[in-house]
C-alpha cells in the first residue's frame, strides 16, 4: 500500500487522490489474485491442505462466499479462518469516530449519513488496519443477540432520544466489524434465537432490536467452524442458517506422517537456549507422530470427537522436557530424547483421547501403552529388517545369558559399555545415520533393544524406572 495515502484526512482528499473504496469481497478477491499470480503461498503455516482445503478456500474467496469449515478438533479450522484476514487490505479509510467503520463514500449509520450531508468533502476519515477488521466469537449458549447484533442503550434514551431513534442502539460485535470478516467458532452451540437473528442479518440485512426493526446493510464476510456431528439436521444447527453459508469446506487431519511431523515441529515449544545442544533423532519424531496415527485408527477411541494434532505437539514437548531434565541432572551437554522417555507421554495423551467404552477392563493407561508399543514397532520396522545379520548378532548376544539395563535417568555414558560389548550393536546404530554423540548412540541403542523386544526376540523386565532386556 502507498504509505502517502495514510496522510489523507478527509473524504475530499480521498476523491482527489483517486482512491476507490471496494466491498470486502472484492478487496479479498483482488489480494488473493495477486498472491496467485506471484505463485505465493496463500496461507503460510497451514500444512497438508495444498491439494484439498486450500483450493476450496481459493474458490470461496474468488466467489465472495460465506464459508463454514467442518472438522473434528485440532484440524486448524480457527487458524485457517484467522488467516483469511491476510486477504484484506493493510489499511482502509472509514468515517472518523464511527462505531461501525462506515465507508465515507456511502455511510449506512444515521450519524455518519448526517455528517456526510453537513460536511460533504470535509468529512473526516481515519485509517483502520486489517487487525481491527477481523473479529471472532466462540459460540456458547449464553451468547445473546445483544452481544452479536446490538441492544437499545438506556443511557442514550435517558439523554432524551426516542426509542425509535437509530442512534439509541449500542451496536454488537458484528456491526462493529463492518467492512471486515466475522467468525464464529462452534457455530451450532448458539441458541436457535441467535441463529435466527444471524441468518436474517446475513441475507435480508434487517434485524429487530427490542421490537425496533432496522436495516443494517453491513459489508461483512461471515465464516464459521463446526464439528460435523453437530452440523446436521440431527444436530443443533437450524436449516435456514446452513443455507446462508455459501460453501461448506471439510478439513481433515494430516494424511501422512511427514505432514504430522512438520506440524509438530512448527507448533511445538522447544527448550530455550541453555548451552546444551538439542538433537532429536528422526525416529523419535516418527514414533511421536505414529502414536497419534495409531490413536486415530483405534476402535477403542471415540473417533467422532477426533484425535487432535495437539496430541503430537504436546507429546513432542513432553518427551523433550524429560530429556532436558535428564541432561541437567547428569550434567550433560546435549538434550537427546530416547525410547525410555516415552513414559512421559502418558500424561500429555490421556486428556486428549476419549475411550469408546469405559469400564474396569478398559483402562486409559493400558491403551496408551499399546499405542506406544505399536508406534515403536512400526517405526523400528521402517529402519530395520529382522533378517539383518547385525541384528541377529545383537539377539545372539542376549541368548548367551547377558542382559542390559536402561533408564530415562541414566546418563548417556552408561551406554558406552553395551555399545562396545554387544556384537552387532554399533553397526546397527550406524545404519540409522551418522550417530556420533553419546546421546544419539544411547537413543539408537534403546530403539534397537525395544524393537527386538516387541518382535519377541528379547524379554523386558521393569523395576521402577529401570528396564532390563535379556533373553
Q: Report helix, strand or coil for 70.
A: strand
Q: Where a domain ends, among 210, 231, 250?
A: 250
Query: Residue 220: what pLDDT?
Result: 93
120 and 224 in one domain? Answer: yes
Assess whether pLDDT exceeds 70 at residue 234: no
246 and 270 in one domain? Answer: no
- Number of domains the chain contains: 2
Q: Average per-residue pLDDT in the chain?
A: 89
In terms of DSSP bridges, do strands 206-209 and 125-129 run parallel, antiparallel, or are they unpaired?
unpaired
pLDDT in tens, 277-307: 999 999 999 999 999 999 999 998 888 888 9
Is this prediction's pTM over 0.85? yes
For residues 235-263, give the mean pLDDT. 91
286 and 393 in one domain? Answer: yes
SS (H, E, C) 181-217: EEEEECHHHCCHHHHHHHHHHHHCCEEEECCEEEECC
263 and 233 in one domain? Answer: no
- When computed from its CA atoms, the radius of gyration of the chain, rounded to whole angstroms, is 30
47 and 29 in one domain? Answer: yes
Query: Residue 250: what pLDDT?
Result: 96
Range of the domain at 297: 257-470
Q: Among 57-66, 212-221, 276-285, where is mean pLDDT lowest? A: 212-221
Question: pLDDT band at residue 207, thresholds of 50, 70 and 90?
Answer: low
Backbone angles phi, psi at 334, to 5 degrees: -145, 150
CB atoms within 10 A of CB 284: 24
Quick one: 80 exposed, middle or buried, by C-beta within 10 A (0-12, 13-18, 19+)?
buried
307 and 207 in one domain? Answer: no
Assess whether pLDDT exceeds 60 at residue 64: yes
284 and 244 in one domain? Answer: no
Kindly compute the dihedral angle of the four CA atoms of residues 449, 450, 456, 462, in this order, to the nearest 10 degrees.
100
441 and 302 in one domain? Answer: yes
Question: pLDDT band at residue 208, thresholds of 50, 70 and 90?
Answer: low
419 and 287 in one domain? Answer: yes
270 and 195 in one domain? Answer: no
pLDDT in tens, 133-183: 999 999 988 898 888 988 877 777 676 666 566 677 788 899 899 999 999
Residue 207, strand partner residues: 214
More confident: 369 or 155? 369
CB atoms within 10 A of CB 467: 21
Q: What is the CATH number of the domain that holds 161?
A: 3.40.50.300
156 and 218 in one domain? Answer: yes
Give the HSE-up count for residue 86: Cα atoms under 13 Å, Cβ half-sphere.
18
Query: Residue 21: what pLDDT?
Result: 92
**Top-ranked range on mean pLDDT: pick from 224-238, 269-283, 370-384:** 370-384
Q: Among 108-112, 131-135, 245-249, where is mean pLDDT lowest? A: 108-112
Query: Residue 291: what pLDDT?
Result: 97
CB atoms within 10 A of CB 294: 18
pLDDT in tens, 256-283: 999 999 999 999 999 888 789 999 999 9
Assess whether pLDDT exceeds 80 at residue 63: yes
pLDDT in tens, 316-354: 999 999 999 999 999 999 999 999 999 999 999 998 888
Q: Where a domain ends, among 206, 232, 250?
A: 250
Query: Residue 170: what pLDDT?
Result: 82
Kindly compute the dihedral angle of the four CA atoms of residues 397, 403, 405, 406, in this order, to the nearest 10 degrees.
30
Q: Where a domain ends, among 191, 217, 250?
A: 250
pLDDT in tens, 3-42: 778 899 999 999 999 999 999 999 999 999 999 999 999 9
Query: Residue 137: what pLDDT?
Result: 94
pLDDT in tens, 392-403: 999 998 888 888
211 and 120 in one domain? Answer: yes
Amino acid at each position: 500500500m502507498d504509505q502517502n495515502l495514510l496522510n489523507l484526512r478527509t473524504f475530499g482528499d480521498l476523491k482527489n487522490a483517486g482512491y476507490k473504496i471496494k466491498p470486502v469481497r472484492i478487496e479479498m478477491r483482488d489480494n488473493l489474485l495477486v498472491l496467485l499470480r506471484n505463485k505465493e503461498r496463500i496461507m503460510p503455516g497451514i500444512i497438508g491442505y495444498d491439494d484439498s482445503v486450500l483450493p476450496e478456500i481459493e474458490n470461496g474467496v474468488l466467489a465472495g462466499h460465506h464459508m463454514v469449515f467442518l472438522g473434528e478438533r485440532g484440524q486448524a479450522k480457527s487458524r485457517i479462518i484467522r488467516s483469511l484476514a491476510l486477504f484484506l487490505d493493510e489499511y482502509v479509510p472509514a468515517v472518523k469516530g464511527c462505531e461501525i467503520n462506515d465507508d465515507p463514500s456511502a455511510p449506512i449509520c444515521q450519524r455518519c449519513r448526517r455528517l456526510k450531508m453537513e460536511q460533504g468533502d470535509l468529512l473526516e476519515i481515519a485509517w483502520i488496519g486489517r487487525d481491527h477488521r477481523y473479529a471472532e466469537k466462540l459460540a456458547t449458549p449464553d451468547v445473546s443477540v445483544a452481544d452479536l447484533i446490538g441492544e437499545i442503550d438506556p443511557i442514550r434514551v435517558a439523554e432524551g432520544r426516542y426509542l425509535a431513534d437509530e442512534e439509541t442502539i449500542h451496536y454488537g460485535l458484528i456491526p462493529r466489524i463492518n467492512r471486515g470478516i466475522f467468525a464464529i467458532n462452534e457455530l451450532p452451540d448458539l441458541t436457535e434465537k441467535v441463529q435466527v437473528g444471524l441468518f436474517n442479518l446475513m441475507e435480508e440485512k434487517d434485524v429487530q432490536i427490542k421490537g425496533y426493526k432496522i436495516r443494517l446493510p453491513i459489508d461483512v464476510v461471515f465464516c464459521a467452524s463446526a464439528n460435523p456431528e453437530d452440523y446436521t439436521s440431527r444436530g443443533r444447527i437450524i436449516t435456514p442458517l446452513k443455507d446462508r453459508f455459501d460453501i461448506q469446506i471439510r478439513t481433515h487431519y494430516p494424511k501422512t506422517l511427514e505432514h504430522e511431523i512438520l506440524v509438530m515441529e512448527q507448533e511445538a515449544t522447544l527448550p530455550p537456549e541453555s548451552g546444551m545442544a538439542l538433537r532429536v533423532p528422526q525416529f523419535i519424531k516418527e514414533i511421536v507422530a505414529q502414536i497419534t496415527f495409531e490413536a486415530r485408527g483405534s476402535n477403542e477411541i471415540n473417533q467422532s470427537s477426533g484425535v487432535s494434532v495437539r496430541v503430537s505437539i504436546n507429546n513432542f514437548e513432553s518427551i523433550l522436557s524429560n530429556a532436558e531434565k535428564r541432561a541437567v541432572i547428569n550434567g550433560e551437554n546435549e538434550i537427546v530424547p530416547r525410547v525410555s522417555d516415552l513414559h512421559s507421554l502418558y500424561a500429555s495423551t490421556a486428556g486428549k483421547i476419549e475411550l469408546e467404552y469405559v469400564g474396569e477392563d478398559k483402562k486409559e493407561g493400558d491403551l496408551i501403552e499399546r499405542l506406544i508399543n505399536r508406534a515403536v514397532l512400526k517405526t523400528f520396522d521402517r529402519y530395520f529388517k529382522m533378517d539383518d545379520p547385525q541384528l541377529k548378532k545383537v539377539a545372539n548376544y542376549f541368548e548367551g545369558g547377558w542382559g542390559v539395563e536402561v533408564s530415562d535417568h541414566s546418563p548417556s555414558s552408561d551406554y558406552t559399555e553395551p555399545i562396545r560389548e554387544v556384537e552387532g550393536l554399533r553397526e546397527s546404530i550406524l545404519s540409522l545415520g551418522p550417530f556420533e554423540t553419546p546421546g544419539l548412540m544411547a537413543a539408537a541403542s534403546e530403539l534397537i533393544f525395544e524393537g527386538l523386544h516387541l518382535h519377541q526376540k528379547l524379554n523386558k523386565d521393569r523395576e521402577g524406572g529401570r528396564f532390563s532386556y535379556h533373553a
